[in-house]
Amino acid sequence: MAKPLALTSGEPAGIGPDIALEAWRRRGELDLPPFYLLGDRAFFAERAKILGLTVELADASPEEAGATFASALPVVATGETATAQPGQPDDSSANAALASIRQAVDHVRQGRAGAVVTNPIAKSVLYRAGFRHPGHTEFLAELAADGGKLPQPVMMLWSPALAVVPVTIHLSLREALAQLSTELIVATARIAVADLKAHFGLGSPRLALSGLNPHAGEDGSLGREDIDVVAPAVDILRQEGIDARGPLPADTMFHAAARKSYDCAICMYHDQALIPIKTIAFEDAVNVTLGLPFIRTSPDHGTAFDIAGTGKANPSSLAAALRLAARMAATKPQ
């Protein structure tokens, strides 16, 4: 029997609790695999009451979650109490969110859960509490290291229509340009190819690498980065037997016909990758962290404080994240 998925609470004041409750309530309709929610059961019960949802909650261990899931949403306590009201983070928010992430990772690494699925966090709330990582992805890499060598995490946004990987992630545009290198592009693409083979059934993934500058630099007239940085990375990847092409003008990479020619777009910075996929597949795109010793997926949206507790939050992206996590976990020995 497949192990259940560990779902984090996310920012308690955001829509993470809302979509978790709604996803379980619609588990049959959404064709969801068994999962359990990490956090404060009393808090989730209160949020269900605010939302007007009838959701049976049950204290459980990860090992009990699979059997419990059909009749009640299993909740695994983290030991942290959450008290935030919808849209209003408070002093309990950061500890509650971080504890659920740490525990989810522990459970997967101990073999008690099949994968980590994370609800959205509010980085500004975490920063005020002393959080020092740029985002979820980098924090997960530190947890994966567990005192050893830090893995290089790679963020992929995946949907049935498009998969994208930004080479630089949570950086200002100025800092992204400073950090972009041939070596970083090659390392990122290698990790993407390895995971696409391992978990997505692609024997020879086809990569399309975007140019950095408009029109991929116009032969150097709009900047030499595409000639000096991106093109050498493509050459190295091809020499390694990877099906890679580029640098390609980013403004013509994402229409329907172009997308049929590759399996994953490797983009040079965050918005170059995320704007097209969030335009094309906002409701069913999934954030996947590659390069870690465990599987992690997440909805591709944020905390949406403005609609938390209103019942307006759509669980579609979370449902897609849960289904993809289960699919990826099925490729690993149980």
List residues forming the annotated binding site for substrate.
Answer: 136-137, 278, 287, 296
Q: Which residues are annotated as a binding site for a divalent metal cation?
A: 170, 215, 270
Residues in binding site: 136-137, 170, 215, 270, 278, 287, 296
Which residues on neighbouring strands pair with residue 74, listed in sequence order?
58
Contact 329, 5 (CB under 8 A): yes
Q: At what angle do helices 136-145 and 93-109 cross, to 10 degrees?
A: 50
Compute the distance between CA of residue 289 and CA of residue 41 in angstroms, rounded to an integer.
28
Tell me the C-alpha distance between 32 and 7, whole Å.
12
Please report the DSSP string for 140-194 in residue order. HHHHHHTTSPPP--EEEEE-SS-EEEESS-SS-HHHHHHH--HHHHHHHHHHHHH
Tell me how far apart the alpha carbons of residues 274 and 311 are, in angstroms, rounded to a whole number: 26
CA atoms within 13 A of residue 161's CA, in its CB half-sphere = 15
236: how many CB neighbours lie within 10 A of its CB? 17
